[in-house]
Structure 1
């Protein structure tokens, strides 16, 4: 989006909703202390009914109190505040904000809703920051980060950037790629900072890998850590100790930055997910030889491996081994496909979308369980059966079409369904962040318009059809339960 277009964005998406207030009869000293403690440059002055009467700013403190020789212990806020509060409507554009600031020679304006109630505040610096919102500037900030605290701020800013760009029409696929790139860069910069200290030689005998959706570069706003480490077989005792220590420091630093730890413990600091190359090969053999639910999950997670730092040759060797084992164990791949088909799309007998009937997500739909999982995992096992390991879901689908395993029409349908489900998932997460709610994979179908609801039903029907193709391809009816 151009800088010029920024001025025509709606105020409601960018104003500050948390209003800092004081009473009109508070002393100036009390109000100034509130401003200091809250690190704000203005306060909304309210009456006994909590209605906004005026605004007191740091400019008022300078011009009317300090320069005017007024005693802040005696003077009341009502005597120095600016009244009334100049306001714009929520649906007005930022251009209207700038117009009111210029016309009234002020640096901030209030934001009111349809009932004319004050709901927010926006100032000049807020608009200036909007013009700084670009992926290029954020990536530059990552490269210039000198501490974990710097990276923590950037990680938070990246979330706000995604929200900003999503609301301004940037395609979901482009946003997903941007999220992956920024997260990769943050992790790379973090490891670089850690290597400036005691871990100078880290990566010579190991590889730190991301797994799952991060490995596929398909993260949205809801993402936790899924990672592992491969250690070279010839790593010695001191090297093993350093690698273990590094894995703990790295994961703890990622948590501090804001990347949640994996609830299932799939993190390199856990010994299960940190092994020598030879031990990973043994684990692969065990998973394939005993295809229960947990082993299938572990194998599938590992099949999305992607090295972020360290020796990529270790990943290449393990990938070659996984492909070889998979080629020799078609029954295991069929078990993977069978697991995918257990997640039936939530469609009723007459095509209605089935939602949660109780609990905290009453009336909602888990998009990951409803279709995203089946599409990503189904495409993965098909690609692996044809000798492809790694890559995104879109890259795998292109490969499957080239191998004549999926037709062009099937690929187009699956891509359209995957894109829609991912779009709805990301939009729901953006709205949750804006509302101060927890980020989940749930949406409420009842909030969709008629066209979107129809597209969602069609997408779920495509998922069901794709599961039928998996059933036929791997001859799942021949498997013994």
Structure 2
């Protein structure tokens, strides 16, 4: 396997399935004897087959012997480390390694979909699988101590994407990890600000990413879309510090190399920085007036994801949005009408229609289909009260809600991934040629098979628009 592909494999393919376990109720001395017999430094502690904690040599040393406690009177549950950090079987090795480094631990317990013990994996297990991989970039991000270093690392992310696309990494995995790396850069930037300039800030705020960043679907041509929410009971002084923090944060993001949002959707803009109760009022105003700007704004916040801070604030905002939109056919109809204005560029006999003028012979992939899919899936998800933000995750939920059949979902995902692949490919080519990447692809650079694949994808978009027109006929009238 290509080394660059290794860390994009699921943990379940590489974890050790034979795990020595014990019960939380077992006498400590018996557990210690098991560790000695097997020559291991730790045991997974289970309750009814579900991992509940970890017992290690360090626990024995620090929590029993060093404290002068009698080991014969203790059970495993008295000193085990809990709660346990676990990963699912489908988690990428890439993400598992980051979890290990972030938590300062050396092993992760792997669980199945039901939360039961499936295996165990260590940092050494993962590192033995590869020599040169993206994990070094993650570690460098975690250790960065200034904005200039983060800027260099952001540039390296783009170079890494060029490598990975050439190595044949699946587009959905590649996009997921672009988002993951960008997330880590922004989280590190927030951490640096909180330590160096804003150590007085309480943790009662959340930095929210919106739009494609909130969905975890960034490619190489992206600007920033973000917002800030904070607790209602902050003092006037604390609120002023939040203003200063938001300004420093956006300045830092710009310095890293992520351009500003042309529409001003950034946390340093007062429109996108509120307390929780103020946000509810603002959202209700937007819901009450479904003009173009407010439709855009609601669409952005519906994709929100808290990158750093108090997750309860994000949860409260999401619940407010879902509570307002679930079953609101009128507002969802307005959102559908906005989406349907982007007609699929297919002419007679399925011929792809390209732009004229400055971009003659090119096709804007976002306007041609990506926007339709992300927005259409979002509308269907919001109507069902689905809280997930990623397009693929929303599609899976819609299958469970019987809004989409399995076949419709598979077709939609394949269409979406095909369009994103073409967008990523053209952006990678732009970077190689030292041009600014965008969403446009030149049709004359595609061979016949590629044009055929693009045409089929666009036909899939047009079919999905038909689904949305039938679902929300109001969208054709507003």
Question: Residues 3 and 133 of structure 2 are in contact (CA less than 8 Å); yes or no, is this contact kept in structure 1?
Answer: no
> What does 1:100-119 align with in structure 2 at a 5 Å threshold?
none
1:175 and 2:158 aligned: no
Q: CA deviation digits over 1:176-230, x for unaligned, max 9?
A: 1111111111111111111112311435221110000000000001111000001
Rg bigger for which structure?
Answer: 1
Question: Residues 306 and 390 of structure 1 are in contact (CA less than 8 Å); yes or no, is this contact kept in structure 2?
Answer: no
* 1:95 corresponds to: none
Instruction: Decide which of 455, 460, 466 is 1:462's aligned counterpart.
Output: 460
What TM-score do the two structures reach when normalised by structure 1?
A: 0.71
Question: Residues 367 and 421 of structure 1 are in contact (CA less than 8 Å); yes or no, is this contact kept in structure 2?
Answer: yes
Deviation at residue 480 of structure 1 after TM alignment: 4.1
Deviation at residue 3 of structure 1 after TM alignment: 5.8
Instruction: Decide which of 423, 426, 446 is 1:425's aligned counterpart.
Output: 423
List structure 1 segments (4+ residues) > 6 angstroms apart after TM superposition: none
Secondary structure in structure 1 of the residue aligned to 2:195: coil
Q: CA deviation digits over 1:363-395, x for unaligned, max 9?
A: 100000000000000000000000013321000
Aligned residue pairs, count:
355
In structure 2, distance between residues paired with 1:388 and 1:256: 36
Cα RMSD for the two superposed structures: 1.8
* 1:363 corresponds to: 361
The answer to which of 350-359 and 373-382 deviates more is 350-359
Instruction: Decide which of 384, 389, 400 is 2:387's aligned counterpart.
Output: 389
Question: Residues 327 and 383 of structure 2 are in contact (CA less than 8 Å); yes or no, is this contact kept in structure 1?
Answer: no
Secondary structure in structure 2 of the residue aligned to 1:381: helix
* 1:89 corresponds to: none
Secondary structure in structure 2 of the residue aligned to 1:204: coil
* 2:439 corresponds to: 441
* 2:299 corresponds to: 300
Question: Residues 4 and 133 of structure 2 are in contact (CA less than 8 Å); yes or no, is this contact kept in structure 1?
Answer: no
Secondary structure in structure 1 of the residue aligned to 2:357: coil
> What does 1:17-96 align with in structure 2 at a 5 Å threshold?
none
* 2:320 corresponds to: 321
Instruction: Decide which of 370, 374, 377 is 2:375's aligned counterpart.
Output: 377
Question: Residues 304 and 389 of structure 1 are in contact (CA less than 8 Å); yes or no, is this contact kept in structure 2?
Answer: no
Secondary structure in structure 2 of the residue aligned to 1:368: helix
> What does 1:73-222 align with in structure 2 at a 5 Å threshold?
134-202=133-201, 204-222=203-221
In structure 2, distance between residues paired with 1:345 and 1:2: 37
In structure 1, distance between residues paired with 2:211 and 2:323: 21
Segments of 5+ residues of structure 2 without an aligned counterpart are 6-129
* 1:350 corresponds to: 349
> What does 1:213-362 align with in structure 2 at a 5 Å threshold?
213-327=212-326, 329-359=328-358, 361-362=359-360
Instruction: Decide which of 398, 403, 406 is 2:401's aligned counterpart.
Output: 403
Secondary structure in structure 1 of the residue aligned to 2:196: coil
